[in-house]
């Protein structure tokens, strides 16, 4: 009985941060896979780099301004994407080592798709804390390609689509059900 009481006492004295939700995934660099791939993307944007990257966006451009607004609440964008010229160039265990982290408390699956025909899988997970999305993870795999995206920070799902196609974030089609806003005609001369 004393062992149990001691274990409970030690657990109660653990720092609160040990119990905190962690939306940041541990994603390997996959250096050996990068050497075998025909195309690879490795993006690691921590808060300082995100701030610096946002300075390259044009605040007078509505799309860039919207992207800057989304970035304000983020603490990181991490992307690993590899394309190979042949099938079976990577082991499924490479992806599963990341996927197992999404079983941790706080993560919930939003989307899961599987195609038996193309052997393609897409999983999108979200971490919510106090009714606020604080993390997003996407794992997409095909026989010749895989992509892992981890976005960390305050995420507004209504605005998240503004990051699609930027900073290595693939098109997620999270906003497919909404009508796309009209973009100004950039071919006309500006006054």
C-alpha–C-alpha distance, residues 147 and 41, integer Å: 9
pLDDT of residue 52: 87
Look at the alpha carbons of 166, 40, 152, 50 in this order and tell me if their dihedral is positive or negative: negative
Beta-carbon count within 10 A of 162 CB: 20
**In the chain, what is the greatest distance between 2 CA atoms, to the nearest angstrom?**
81
* CA distances in angstroms from 74 to 91, 143, 160, 170, 191, listed in the order given: 31, 32, 11, 17, 35
- Per-residue pLDDT of 144-164, as tens digits, reads 999 999 999 988 776 666 566
Residue 174 pLDDT greater than 90, yes or no: no
Following CA atoms 108, 173, 123, 105 in sequence, which dihedral angle do they give, to the nearest 10 degrees?
-20
Identify the pLDDT of residue 168.
Answer: 56
pLDDT tens digits along 105-136: 999 999 999 999 999 999 999 999 988 899 99
Residue 81 φ then ψ, to 5°: -140, 135
pTM comes to 0.73
pLDDT band at 3 (very low <50, low <70, confident <90, very high): very low
Q: What are phi and psi of 163, to 5 degrees?
A: -85, -15
How far is it, in rounded angstroms, from Cα 53 to Cα 48? 9
Residue 187 has pLDDT above 80, yes or no: no
Give the span between the Cα atoms of 114 and 93, in whole angstroms: 17
Contact of 21 with 127, CB cutoff 8 Å: yes
Q: Answer whether residue 39 shows pLDDT above 60.
A: yes
Task: Tell me what pLDDT residue 170 has.
Answer: 60
CA 154, CA 73: separation in Å to the nearest integer?
5
Lowest mean pLDDT among 42-51, 61-70, 146-155, 166-175: 166-175
CA dihedral for 163, 168, 171, 174, sign (positive or negative): negative
Q: What are phi and psi of 43, to 5 degrees?
A: -125, 130
Confidence at residue 19, expressed as pLDDT on a 0 to 100 scale: 45
Mean pLDDT, residues 137-145 taken together: 95
**Residues 155/134, Cβ–Cβ less than 8 Å:** yes
Contact 125, 140 (CB under 8 A): no
């Amino acid at each position: 009985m004393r062992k149990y009481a001691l274990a409970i006492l030690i657990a109660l004295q653990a720092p609160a941060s040990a119990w905190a939700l962690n939306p940041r995934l541990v994603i390997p660099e996959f250096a050996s896979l990068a050497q075998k791939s025909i195309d690879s993307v490795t993006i690691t944007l921590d808060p300082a780099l995100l701030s610096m990257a946002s300075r390259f966006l044009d605040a007078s451009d509505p799309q860039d301004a919207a992207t800057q607004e989304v970035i304000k609440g983020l603490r990181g964008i991490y992307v690993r994407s590899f394309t190979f010229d042949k099938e079976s160039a990577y082991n499924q265990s490479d992806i599963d080592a990341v996927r197992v982290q999404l079983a941790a408390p706080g993560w919930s699956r939003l989307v899961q798709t599987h195609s038996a025909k193309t052997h393609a899988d897409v999983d999108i997970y979200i971490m919510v804390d106090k009714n606020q999305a604080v993390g997003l993870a996407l794992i997409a795999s095909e026989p010749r390609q895989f992509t892992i995206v981890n976005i960390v920070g305050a995420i507004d799902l209504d605005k998240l689509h503004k990051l699609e196609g930027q900073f290595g974030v693939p098109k997620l089609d999270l906003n497919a059900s909404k009508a796309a806003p009209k973009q100004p005609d950039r071919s006309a001369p500006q006054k």
